[in-house]
Chains A and B, each alone.
Chain A
């Protein structure tokens, strides 16, 4: 019971900040006021699904793929009336899952390793490579999860 409450709190925390991040980037991407609310909803939904997946001990890549797939599917079915904008809203909802911090970590690690007086270069290379691979695979998971529903629905983008 305590575990469930703690888990629910974590899911709510991630969903809240996921929604906030999606809405913030939605303003940057010039979404209209109504679409911004939908972006926030999509971001909250995506982060909730991903957090539940991570709680079930899935890898970050698998949880991100399922979250992106679910967000795109729900957007395409639930927001069918707004056409191509549904895809854009799903994409904005998935932006908080883009692992930019991993890429930064990887690049900063590579900068350290390539220094002429690098200390413990062998030990530093593994986390950097790991961060780079996680960036590539997680980004790939988002792209694939977003693309599959729209291609199955043969949406032409207009």
Chain B
């Protein structure tokens, strides 16, 4: 048995396969981080390609899907194909930019698989994030400002702010528990919309219905919606369509929550 293993280690084809597999996996991890941070397909493809080339592999093909990325790399006559799954697609600007910088550095200066994996782990672990309370409050402020742009009156401003803040905190808590994102959208829209609507009514606002909608605008997936268009424009209609369908589903669930909140408001009138 040991002899067999020693023989495998000495086989140059097997060794090349192992090296290629490590390179492919490192490049795919870079691609997954980019997708999960909100990058478009073309940026993700470029990140994967630059990393794999920087690590010394040739590229046969990259396939970026909505939930997975596949990569085929080569060295001389040897090729290997590997795939990685992609988790929930969100937006994290600072991590996105840091991972792009890592891919660009590897493409320019080269590196080792261990250093790329180590740097990526460090970036994921150490890239700063705003405090949870600030994110919730800023989201509430954004909803209230959005409401003003839509014509919500001054009395409803505070109610929308509170609804948006509570909604964002609820979304974070439910996401941390692994609840389905579409179910989260319906629940958050109901809670945020109810707070916005009831609060606006208590404060004597004339725009109760719009306050209900404005408080749940944190759920409008603006970045995925524009990414869907970008992907389709750049020649990746499959991922673009998948993103568009996800945006539509998200809004149907959010509208269901708002519909329930408005129904309760009318019943309580």
Q: Which of B149, B168, B254, B258 makes the CB contact (< 8 A) with A28?
A: B168
Is A147 in contact with B233, judged by CB distance below 8 angstroms?
yes
Q: Which of B43, B92, B103 makes the CB contact (< 8 A) with A30?
A: B92
Q: Which of B93, B100, B139, B251 makes the CB contact (< 8 A) with A157?
A: B100
Please report the total number of B residues contacting A with Cβ < 8 Å.
Answer: 58
Q: Which A residues, 128 to 142, have Cβ-Cβ distances below 8 Å to chain B?
A: 139-140, 142
B109 at the interface (CB under 8 A from A): no
Q: A-side interface residues toward B, CB under 8 Å?
A: 13-14, 17-18, 20-32, 35, 47, 84-85, 88, 91-92, 94-96, 98, 100-101, 103-105, 107-108, 111, 139-140, 142-144, 146-147, 151, 156-158
Stretch at the interface among B13-21, B78-86, B217-225: B217-225
Is B97 in contact with A85, judged by CB distance below 8 angstroms?
yes
B175 at the interface (CB under 8 A from A): no
Q: Which B residues, 205 to 259, have Cβ-Cβ distances below 8 Å to chain A?
A: 210, 213-214, 216-220, 222-223, 225-226, 229-230, 233, 251-252, 254-256, 258-259
- Chain B residues with CB under 8 Å of A143's CB are 225-226, 229-230, 233
A and B contact pairs by CB, cutoff 8 A, 18 listed:
A24-B143, A25-B138, A28-B139, A28-B168, A29-B91, A30-B92, A88-B97, A91-B226, A98-B226, A100-B217, A103-B220, A104-B255, A107-B255, A140-B229, A142-B226, A143-B229, A158-B103, A158-B104
Is A17 in contact with B148, judged by CB distance below 8 angstroms?
yes
